[in-house]
Amino acid sequence: MAFLIYKKSIDAGNARYEYVAPLKFGGRTGLVAEHVRALPESNQRSWKLATPDLLKLAGGPPGEDHVVLFDVAGKESTSVCLYELRKLHGSCRDTSTQLALDFAVVIDQEVGESAAAYARKFEVALPAQPRLLGETLSLSGGPGGGDWKWGAPPLQLGATIVHAQPHHGGGEPCPNCTCRRRAATA
């Protein structure tokens, strides 16, 4: 599990990603700890952080052409599984911080032995509807101190939350997918 900065460019319906640098989230000198310590006391209990603000906090490259990807597969895997971070929500107690992260799936596929090299620079077609999901993480640090190490969220469900796609569940036709709702409601 790693957070990484990538340069992203979009051209003719494709997105190109090129690895730039790792992003340190956890630990006493990590971005979450620095962000929480910099907040006024009245805002430390609940806060949000968009990706551009996170990159700015990291002293990273300015502009909209850089994104944060979450590497789920890791370096030793034969698969490439990268999620683009959209927004980070934080909730702090004295010595703990709970995080809820909003992601869009960039790529999730088997590549083989060259997966690590492939993940450094790749191109994917932009989906008509991005697959959105959410994840919860926990850090053992908060406004009152702590070591800011990764831990298990207190109400761990053992599942990733997948956001419902537009038009699903509302009884409306779904013209953009293969769920057969268009035929069922037409």
pLDDT in tens, 48-97: 988 888 888 888 666 668 999 999 887 778 889 999 999 999 999 899 99
CB-based contacts of 52, cutoff 8 Å, min separation 6: 64
CB-based contacts of 65, cutoff 8 Å, min separation 6: 7, 8, 9
Query: Whole-angstrom Cα distance, residue 92 to residue 158?
Result: 22
- The tokens describing 96, both together, are 């703990």
**Predicted local confidence at residue 62, as pLDDT:** 60
pLDDT digits (tens, 9 = 90+) for 62-72: 666 899 999 98
pTM for the full predicted model: 0.77
Residue 141 pLDDT greater than 50, yes or no: yes
